[in-house]
């Protein structure tokens, strides 16, 4: 019933517009007076874009499909809704009434999309996001070498500084007990030598990186070789520290 009412209303509007254009008078030659999209043009001229979309939605079922899609695309483009506008232009083209005007406007919208995508790609923020994984891997690789070097040098303070605040080992020791144990084990031997091989580094998330490696440990009284995993967490200051340490073989 609503569709029939709209169709009837539009028919009366067109008839009146045709009569007005045929009869002499001040509106006789006005193309807007003969255009069922006249109210829309008024809304567009006044920049009332949301109302223009509402008007189009109300009369969609009784207006010429291609012109409806074309006008919708123009309104959306004016509102800066570029992707929706491009889709609407494509819908207008699908009405099997190709027009050079539609192709031209669609091409301009696609070029605008391409420029926006290109600008986004080259933006400093985007570039930083793309470079972040490689930077994180490099930072953790350097931190892993500092950990190995500090352990070999029996530099307790530098060694402990590479662990996250409050770090607790899987054995269940408290943080303070673990620190005391590590200090004793680093200072008691006459010498320590730590070598790493088969190092693999994997970024788990923007704030977590996993390192796995074979650890070759030797001091003046003991030697062993184990495969180990360290999980590094990035702190608020951007420093990577060990959050988990696990012997996996």
pLDDT tens-digit readout, 29-65: 443 345 788 899 999 999 999 999 999 998 888 888 8
**Residue 230, token pair as written in the block:** 């360290």
| Residue 198, phi-psi category: left (phi > 0), alpha (psi -120 to 50), beta (remainder) | left
User: 10 Å Cβ neighbour count for 143?
Assistant: 19
- Choose the weakest-confidence range: 76-90, 192-206, 222-236: 76-90
Q: How high is the mean pLDDT of the chain?
A: 82
- Whether residue 176 has pLDDT greater than 90: yes
| All domains in the chain, ordered by first residue | 37-122 (1.25.40.10), 131-247 (3.10.450.50)
DSSP secondary structure letter of residue 163 = B
pLDDT above 50 (res 25): no
Report percent pLDDT > 90 for the chain: 50
Burial class of residue 229 (count of CB atoms within 10 Å of its CB; 0-12, 13-18, 19+): middle
CA dist 35 → 18, 31, 104, 248 (Å): 9, 6, 23, 77
Give the pLDDT of residue 100: 61
Over residues 85-90, the mean pLDDT reads 86
Each residue's pLDDT tens digit, 96-105 = 655 667 777 7
Per-residue burial over 94-132, b if 16 or more Cβ lie within 10 Å, else e, is ebeeeeeebeebbeebeeeeeeeeeeeeeeeeeeeeeee
- What pLDDT shows up at residue 34? 56
């Amino acid at each position: 019933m609503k569709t029939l009412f709209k169709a009837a209303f539009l028919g009366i509007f067109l008839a009146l517009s045709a009569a007005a254009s045929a009869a002499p008078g001040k509106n006789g030659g006005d193309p807007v007076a003969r255009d069922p999209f006249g109210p829309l043009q008024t809304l567009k001229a006044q920049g009332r874009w949301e109302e223009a979309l509402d008007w189009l939605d109300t009369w969609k079922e009784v207006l010429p499909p291609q012109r409806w899609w074309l006008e919708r695309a123009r309104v959306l483009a004016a509102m800066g809704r570029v992707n929706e506008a491009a889709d609407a232009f494509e819908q207008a083209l699908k009405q099997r009434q190709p027009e050079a005007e539609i192709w031209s406007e669609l091409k301009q919208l696609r070029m605008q999309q391409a420029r926006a995508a290109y600008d986004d790609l080259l933006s400093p923020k985007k570039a930083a996001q793309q470079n972040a994984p490689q930077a994180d891997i490099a930072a953790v690789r350097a931190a892993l070498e500092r950990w190995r070097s500090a352990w070999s040098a029996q530099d307790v303070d530098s060694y402990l500084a590479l662990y996250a605040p409050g770090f607790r080992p899987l054995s269940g020791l408290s943080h303070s007990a673990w620190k005391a144990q590590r200090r004793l084990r680093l200072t008691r031997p006459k010498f320590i030598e730590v070598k790493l091989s088969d190092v693999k580094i994997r970024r788990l998330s923007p704030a977590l990186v996993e390192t796995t490696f074979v650890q070759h440990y030797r001091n003046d009284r003991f030697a062993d070789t184990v495969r180990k995993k360290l999980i590094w967490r990035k702190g608020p200051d951007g420093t990577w520290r060990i959050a988990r340490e696990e012997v996996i073989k």
